[in-house]
Amino acid sequence: MTAVRPETTAQRVSDTAFPPGFVWGAATAAYQVEGAAAADGRTPSIWDTFSHTPGKVLNGDTGDIAADHYHRYRDDVALMKDLGLKSYRFSVSWSRVQPTGRGPAVQRGLDFYRRLTDELLGAGITPVATLYHWDLPQELEDSGGWPQRDTAYRFAEYADIMGRALGDRVGVWTTLNEPWCSAFLGYGSGVHAPGRTDPAAALRAAHHLNLGHGLAVGALRSVLPNSAQISLTLNLHQVNPLTDAPADVEAARRIDAVGNRVFTGPVLDGDYPEDLRADTAHIVDWGELVHDGDLAEISRPIDVLGVNYYSPTVVSQGDKSADNARNDGHGASEHSPWPGAEDVSFHLANDRVTAMNWSIEPQGLYRLLTDLAASHPELPLMVTENGAAFDDYISPEGVVNDPQRIAYLHGHLDAVRRAIADGADVRGYFLWSLMDNFEWSYGYSKRFGTIYVDYSTQRRIPKASSGWYADVIKRNALPDSED
Ligand code: BG6
């Protein structure tokens, strides 16, 4: 029998409420929503090349048209306003504003982001701009891509261009989104663009992404007003050993090193961890890779850390099962995206899964946030992505009911609220995603949006979760469970 806990109204409110000023947002990324792939001087990025390569993306889908946000941004901002969003996190397509990745910017490309941000500001929505969400100009990949040191300097130049162009209207900036994916899926397992499968290139890419981040922070600081907030968004893996056996604990350490501390080490703590260097010493020469002065650039202070969380990571040692790739959640490949930890096995945390086959475990988000708060108490945090794909469809009545997404969001927002109550300085939450979009190697087969996109007509239909989220935003609180 369940005991009834006596509660006062005040306790009940604080059991559901978020702090005043909590930032409620939703996120997208350029290649996933914009379309207009060849409009106004834009040239191919590595994702255009990759998606047009047969066999790389499910059903041969590409981002050529996507959700046509490039042309429909006004309507989309109106939908955001209906939702009551306080903030919109979008990314800039590098090859739209600087087609070759070098030299002067293209005015027409910059103008799109000026129009978008003006529209947002006019609707009372704070723009949050991410400079890099995986879409390197193809020309820079042709010159060596992220494994090549020069790419970091090109990225800083692009950051300078964007800071000058939008610094008067964008106050919150993110350098990179999920550099783990850029480095290890792009150059390690090859399931993401540019599709290379070379562990040394993946580690070199990780270092140059870190360096590019640090140089871009410097470039942005020198052109933005002091009030600007600069961040980096990481998809930190919330790693758990399958058992307490020393071998599983060791597997978790390795995955934590090459999944998390390869970024948090240099960015937040000023150096690459010794254990990571040792695990990967047979793959890359760290002494040659990391130049004098790099770590000082990379560890420039940031104002906030962006955290993307979808599902926890459960690992064990040995037993290289056939399910490895599937269960690490990052797509099937014969090539591991985990240099130095290739023989680690991955497991589902439980069998309550989303359409991505990712376990639903809100407590993982609570742990991630409270662990970060414990290790870096002075660093404000922002959940820059959280959400889930389900097999949404339009009912005969013309509506899209997504109760599983509502349950997912409720559980994870409650985890954020509990983390805040336990002392984590979490400033906001961005739902992934505002609308259905191009889910990378899964193409349009996976729907993460709180707004449904009918790709044949580009009609937008807010799903039931939209109304639920709008209500949460309005109250600045979760509904009581009996609501
Ligand atoms: C985002 C992508 O940044 O990360 C999403 O743009 C995607 O489309 C998500 O679903 C995946 O995150 P992760 O942590 O599984 O790589």
Q: How far apart are CA 214 and CA 297, in angstroms?
A: 5
**Do the Cβ atoms of 315 and 240 come closer than 8 Å?**
yes
Atom of ligand 1 nearest to the CA of 387: 10
Q: Which residue has the tokens 């906001």?
A: 428
Ligand 1 pocket, residues with Cβ under 6 angstroms: 29, 32, 177-178, 181, 235, 308, 310, 329, 385, 432, 439-440
Q: Whose CA is nearest to atom 14 of ligand 1?
A: 235
Mutate to test the pocket of ligand 1, among 177, 180, 232, 310 (most ligand atoms within 8 A of CB): 310
Atom of ligand 1 nearest to the CA of 329: 15
Atom of ligand 1 nearest to the CA of 440: 8
pLDDT above 90 for 9? no
| Non-local CB neighbours of 476 within 8 Å, separated by 6+ positions | 17, 18, 20, 22, 24
pLDDT above 50 for 4? no
Residue 48 is predicted with a pLDDT of 99
* Eight-class DSSP state of 447: B
pLDDT confidence bin for 12, thresholds 50/70/90: very low
Mutate to test the pocket of ligand 1, among 89, 135, 181 (most ligand atoms within 8 A of CB): 181
Question: How far, in Å, from the CA of 37 to the mean position of ligand 1?
Answer: 21
Q: How far apart are CA 300 and CA 175, in angstroms?
A: 12
| Residue 375 exposed, middle or buried by CB count within 10 Å (0-12, 13-18, 19+) | exposed
> Which neighbouring-strand residues pair with 88?
26, 127
For residue range 85-98, what is the model confidence (pLDDT) as tens digits? 999 999 999 999 99
Q: Mean pLDDT throughout 295-303?
A: 98
According to CATH, the topology of domain 23-475 is TIM Barrel (3.20.20)
For residue range 256-278, what is the model confidence (pLDDT) as tens digits? 999 999 999 999 999 999 999 99
* Eight-class DSSP state of 437: -
Question: How far, in Å, from the CA of 157 to the mean position of ligand 1?
Answer: 26
Q: Mean pLDDT throughout 7-20?
A: 66
For residue range 37-67, what is the model confidence (pLDDT) as tens digits? 999 999 999 999 999 999 999 999 999 999 9
Mutate to test the pocket of ligand 1, among 135, 185, 235, 405 (most ligand atoms within 8 A of CB): 235
Q: How far apart are CA 392 and CA 153, in angstroms?
A: 42
Backbone angles phi, psi at 421, to 5 degrees: -60, -30
| Residue 483 exposed, middle or buried by CB count within 10 Å (0-12, 13-18, 19+) | exposed
Between β-strands 23-27 and 304-308, what pairing exists: parallel, antiparallel or unpaired?
Answer: unpaired
Question: How far, in Å, from the CA of 449 to the mean position of ligand 1?
Answer: 13
Helix axes 464-475, 403-421, angle to 10 degrees: 20
Residue 294 is predicted with a pLDDT of 99
Mutate to test the pocket of ligand 1, among 385, 430, 438, 440 (most ligand atoms within 8 A of CB): 385
| Non-local CB neighbours of 54 within 8 Å, separated by 6+ positions | 60
Atom of ligand 1 nearest to the CA of 233: 3
> Which neighbouring-strand residues pair with 172?
128, 229
For residue range 360-399, what is the model confidence (pLDDT) as tens digits? 999 999 999 999 999 999 999 999 999 999 999 999 999 9
For residue range 190-232, what is the model confidence (pLDDT) as tens digits? 999 999 999 999 999 999 999 999 999 999 999 999 999 999 9
**Do the Cβ atoms of 345 and 315 come closer than 8 Å?**
yes
* Eight-class DSSP state of 480: P
Tell me what percent of the residues of the chain surpass a pLDDT of 70: 95
Q: Where are the alpha helices (DSSP H) in 280-354?
A: 286-289, 294-298, 324-327
Question: How far, in Å, from the CA of 262 to the mean position of ligand 1?
Answer: 18
For residue range 230-240, what is the model confidence (pLDDT) as tens digits? 999 999 999 99
pLDDT above 90 for 323? no
With H, G, I as helix, E, B as strand and everything else as coil, classify residue 181: helix
Q: Whose CA is nearest to atom 10 of ligand 1?
A: 439
Q: Mean pLDDT throughout 316-337?
A: 78
For residue range 451-478, what is the model confidence (pLDDT) as tens digits? 999 999 999 999 999 999 999 999 999 9
Residue 22 is predicted with a pLDDT of 98
Atom of ligand 1 nearest to the CA of 235: 14
Q: Cα torsion for 184, 189, 195, 200, to the nearest 10°?
A: 60
Q: Whose CA is nearest to atom 13 of ligand 1?
A: 235
Residue 325 is predicted with a pLDDT of 60
For residue range 95-124, what is the model confidence (pLDDT) as tens digits? 999 999 999 999 999 999 999 999 999 999
- Provide the residue ranges of all domains of the chain, joining segments of one domain with +: 23-475
Residue 11 is predicted with a pLDDT of 42
CA distances from 339 to 114, 146, 184, 204, 258 (A): 41, 16, 8, 11, 7
Question: How far, in Å, from the CA of 311 to the mean position of ligand 1?
Answer: 11
Q: Mean pLDDT throughout 301-315?
A: 98
Q: What are the catalytic residues?
A: 178, 385
Residue 318 is predicted with a pLDDT of 75
Residue 3 is predicted with a pLDDT of 38
**Do the Cβ atoms of 349 and 311 come closer than 8 Å?**
yes
Question: How far, in Å, from the CA of 369 to the mean position of ligand 1?
Answer: 18
